Amino acid sequence: MATGRTHRPASRSRGIPEATVARLPLYLRALTGLSERSVPTVSSEELAAAAGVNSAKLRKDFSYLGSYGTRGVGYDVEYLVYQISRELGLTQDWPVVIVGIGNLGAALANYGGFASRGFRVAALIDADPAMAGKPVAGIPVQHADELEKIVSDNGVSIGVIATPAGAAQPVCDRLVAAGVTSILNFAPTVLTVPDGVDVRKVDLSIELQILAFHEQRKAGEEAANQAAHPTAARRDDSAEQGPDGDVPAVMPA
């Protein structure tokens, strides 16, 4: 595996597991913090703690990139920052367009983490003519009619969709047709795209629902323990929604 010096790009950059890729930004952030505090080296243990993972996972992740550590010492912070940045493609800069400048779009435009790492907001686009020309985060909003021109003129390959659900698919289609091949979707819809186009979705409501699931479970366990432990049971405004019995009005055949 990756014999010392990096040789064939294909052999070492092929097949980095998705799960590892998803953690690289986490490591990078932790490393950047260390770098700013001028820490020269870290052990896998320390870095793992800073990134919120366990050290075995971190070492395995790094092993996919190559052998960038020093046994008995740890990892050189600056060197790792560079290697991970390069692996993620952050040594080049990525022009990004944000479509849909409502509350969320504006929040994204103002988000500092954007510019910090290789990403540059090339344009803000909204369908509302009243928005056109209005500056948000110092960038004038452009009308949706300009979308295709903006994408091709700026060589944009990453698009962020922050429109209402209904507008998302048409916007997506236009972005893709104009040449965008990666989309970050904040609208609560499943987007359909041709092969070769990546979509990642960020969905607030889904995250909350997952939390609710676990929260409910906790409450259930608490209730179960209550027989033996009749202590304070928080958040019991009404009857514990019975996981049994109470069937809805509508019933299947």
Closest approach of Cβ 182 to its own copies, in Å?
4
Cα distances from 136 to residues 100, 124, 133, 209, in angstroms, run 12, 8, 9, 31
User: What is the 3-class SS of 98-145, one letter each residue?
Assistant: EECCCHHHHHHHHCHHHHHCCEEEEEEEECCHHHCCCEECCEEEEEHH
Binding-residue total with DNA (CB under 7 A): 29
Using the contact rule CB under 8 A, the part of the chain among 122-130, 138-146, 167-175, 229-237 near its own copies is 229-237
Note whether 68 binds its own copies by CB under 8 A. yes
Closest approach of Cβ 150 to DNA, in Å?
34
Is residue 105 marked as binding?
yes
DSSP single-letter state for residue 189:
S
Is residue 196 marked as binding?
no
Contact partners, residue 77, CB within 8 Å, separation at least 6:
31, 34, 35, 39, 40, 41, 42
Q: Which is nearer to its own copies, 177 or 206 (CB)?
A: 206
Contact partners, residue 11, CB within 8 Å, separation at least 6:
2
Window 116 to 175, contacts with its own copies (CB under 8 A): 116-119, 155, 157-158
Note whether 18 binds DNA by CB under 7 A. yes
Q: Which is nearer to DNA, 65 or 156 (CB)?
A: 65
Cα distances from 53 to residues 14, 44, 48, 58, 98, in angstroms, run 24, 10, 5, 7, 32
Window 38 to 77, contacts with DNA (CB under 7 A): 42-45, 53-57, 59-60, 62-63, 67-75
Closest approach of Cβ 104 to its own copies, in Å?
4
Window 98 to 127, contacts with its own copies (CB under 8 A): 102-104, 106-108, 110-111, 113-114, 116-119
Cα distances from 23 to residues 10, 27, 54, in angstroms, run 21, 6, 12
Q: Which of 54, 216, 225, 226 binds its own copies (CB under 8 A)?
A: 216
- Interacting partner of 37 out of its own copies, DNA, none (Cβ under 5 to 8 A depending on kind): none
Amino acid (1-letter code) at residue 166? G
**Binding interface with DNA (CB under 7 A):** 1-2, 17-20, 42-45, 53-57, 59-60, 62-63, 67-75, 253
